Structure 1
């Protein structure tokens, strides 16, 4: 009889165990994603298959569908918000293809995302003609109903797209396209991650400093660098008419890493008045940084809606943003498309462009509980708990202290229960 796995909580006096769901994959599980409600889970394996589980009212997780999604291992998964119908699941494979999978709610279990032959019914996909994609992030604006996709390639090139038709990736327009870091050398070990700011709007101090309410914010890690980008408003002339556009600028760069950065996370809950970024590093440390947008109290502004949100938007109710004229999304067509295809945009550096806001970085904590390379890091939905997983297979959880620093609060580790030998009776 094989050993029975259990889970041990080292912070408790007595180890507690709970049931482990058998995922059913025939190879290593590389990616996992929960939906916003926490009642649906998707797992992606090295064998290229995705399995979706639903949590029923009796608390039991049951398999909803299983299909072949990619030719190789699955790197990342993300559910789009449940307000988008039908439910959409995004995936990225090792071959560099970004795909969307739409659920058919009327289909029987086992055929929600896949066809009878076991292959997935992806609605659309994107792939790079230069270098394969290695990380992605999706953000949906509930007010404007626009969906944004950030795709980071293996050469450090970042593409940000937007679209109104969530499933039609081929109709997405380009917001921006630029290089985030120096192209790595051939044969060099690499790791790239990109994550959108999960908060609906920038924090109130960033708004006070001049960040637009609808600014897009990204954190990008590549090799040993971590950079934060935000969009500024700019204008462009098209056929003699001025159009309002957005362009990413380098808000700040985190230079505290000397080893490969494996993962990066942006904390939800920016009601604190500042943002927080966490990184998982090859040197065995989890680092937490505070991002501020300092401003002067002598600039003549107050905390009124006019000063915080900006004069141009003071009379605009947040729920009426979709009635405003849309920015030019720079849809690639004609001559512009050929220019975009001919080469990559240069690396963004710190400049004093109009609309660019000054940012500062402060290291809050260096957490070395793993004492081994750290592979994953993420915050909970409120930004109150930080979790990380290392080479030793343990999940570490941290909480923020009153002084702003972070400290370990609990530890979860897998263990094998030893089976006692049956007693032998001699008569």
Structure 2
């Protein structure tokens, strides 16, 4: 659902979502589409992974099913890698696994997908959430354990992804003893680079931006290299805590950082136990007055007469003139580059702009953005999928919902 565009989502909401028999012997705990929306991977409490491929427009064909972990599988995600199709899983057996299709084996053989990397957490506590981020041909992984240990990894071999090294580890909320239900969740900002206001404030293009939640708290981290003013890809990333925000009392079950560049600031959605979805806006004010900046400072383009009079009295259209946004970014580039060395000190501000609640409130467990960040899907204990978007007036509204029946 998070990989379809706005027009397709509207059509799906109108006609209802397609259902198919997944054949799992126990509850399906997570599902994930690949980047093209032609393949879906399911994981379930019966320890098995199932991958389906679309056949035509209205049917899904099982490609393979196999035992992926020695316990229930908690989450599954396709990686946004440009090198091929990979997906990862975490299970209650304290394992993180990365899978790749092996075309030398037949479909439905139970061996079509091969585990190319497996890791257990260093503190022997199960992983509860993970995410991935691709910057051009570089892929990064972040994962957090049940007691709150956050790790950032990069591949030793960027092409095969068969071995990974740990870049940094932190406890973003301090150490939580085993048995404490803090509901740790994380979400990468998936756009190619930071939003425009963050760039203007001094956050580098290769910065890894990550939101981490626990209880009713969300923290924003930027993983920066020691010298962000350099364009070199050498040097390890380090986590810096940038901002801290809270719901009032609602416990957070999941978070999702909006992708795309539709807005000059960042938007984060939180699925909450009180039956609501909270929408937060996070900005990086860069104006001299330090105000909460909601718009890009745009430089005015030069007047047409400055480009020279038309020849022969004929009318003309100015070409290659920089747009307002382009001129504004170009005019700020030198000042921005000078500040990147202090990127970890960039000021962040946030505010809760919406509390979304359906007519039948029930705990919300999942939130997913459409690939361009234009709409948000949520689902929970009421068994329905709700679709939300921001109206032209700035108000968040529900524009569709569906249920299994």
TM-score between both structures, scaled by the size of structure 2: 0.79
| Whole-angstrom CA distance in 1 between matches of 2:50 and 2:343 | 47
Unaligned segments of structure 2, at least 5 residues: 1-9, 228-233, 291-296, 300-327
Moved more, 34-43 or 371-380: 371-380
- 1:270-419 residue pairs with structure 2 within 5 A? 270-296=261-287, 303-305=328-330, 307-308=332-333, 355-369=344-358, 370-415=360-405
Aligned partner of 1:205 in structure 2 is 197
CA distance in 2, matches of 1:228, 1:392: 30
In structure 1, C-alpha distance between the alignment counterparts of 2:204 and 2:17, rounded to whole Å: 46
Q: Distance in 2 between matches of 1:245 and 1:310?
A: 25
> Contact between 1:232 and 1:356, CA under 8 Å: does it hold in 2?
no
Q: Deviations over 1:376-397 (max 9, x none)?
A: 1111111111111121111111
Go from structure 1 to structure 2 and tell me whether the alpha carbon gap of 1:306 and 1:174 turns closer, same or farther (over 3 Å shift): farther
Task: Output one character per residue of 1:391-419: Cα deviation in whole Å (capped at 9) or x when no partner.
Answer: 1111111110223231111111233xxxx
State the distance in 2 between where 1:40 and 1:162 align.
26
**What is the 5 A alignment of 1:107-256?**
107-111=105-109, 114-115=110-111, 121-130=114-123, 131-142=125-136, 145-166=137-158, 171-234=163-226, 244-256=235-247
How far does residue 358 in structure 1 lie from its aligned partner after superposition? 0.7
The aligned residue for residue 24 of structure 1 is 23
1:258-299 per-residue CA deviation (whole Å, 9 max, x = no partner) reads 232100001111331011000011111100011111012589
CA distance in 2, matches of 1:259, 1:167: 42
Using the alignment, how far apart are the partners of 1:170 and 1:249 within structure 2? Answer: 28
42-51 or 382-391, which moves further after superposition? 382-391
Report if the CA contact (8 A) 2:30-2:74 is conserved: yes
Contact 1:210 1:355 (8 Å CA) reproduced: no
Contact (CA 8 Å) 1:233, 1:355: kept in 2 or not? no
Distance across 2 between alignment mates of 1:162 and 1:404: 39
Residue 270 and residue 134 in structure 1: after superposition, are their counterparts in 2 closer, same or farther (change >3 A)? same
When residues 212 and 154 of structure 1 are mapped into structure 2, their CA distance, relative to the original with a 3 A threshold, is same
Q: Tell me: CA distance 1:373–1:126, structure 2 relative to 1, closer, same or farther (3 Å).
A: same
CA distance in 2, matches of 1:182, 1:82: 32
The CA distance in 2 between the partners of 1:97 and 1:67, in whole Å, is 16
CA shift at 1:106, angstroms? 3.9
Secondary structure of the 2:198 match is helix
Quick check: 1:34 aligned with 2:30?
Answer: no
The higher relative CO (CA closer than 8 Å, separation ≥ 6) is in: 1
| TM-score normalized with structure 1 length | 0.75
Between stretches 32-41 and 73-82, larger displacement belongs to: 73-82
CA distance in 2 between counterparts of 1:148 and 1:18 reads: 32
Cα 1:353–1:380 change in 2 (3 A) is: same
CA shift in 2, pair 1:384/1:354, >3 Å: closer
Q: 1:46 to 1:396 in 2, by over 3 A?
A: same
- Asked whether the equivalents of residues 364 and 404 of structure 1 are also in contact (C-alpha less than 8 Å), the reply is no
Contact kept in structure 2, 1:225 and 1:257, CA below 8 Å: no
Bigger mean CA deviation after superposition, 247-256 or 168-177? 168-177
CA root-mean-square deviation: 2.9
**SS in structure 1 opposite 2:386?**
strand
Change (3 A) 1:362 1:305: same
Q: Which runs of 5+ in 1 are unaligned?
A: 1-10, 236-242, 314-351, 416-427
Contact 1:276 1:289 in 2 (8 A): yes
Contact kept, 8 Å, 2:262 with 2:373, in 1: the verdict is no
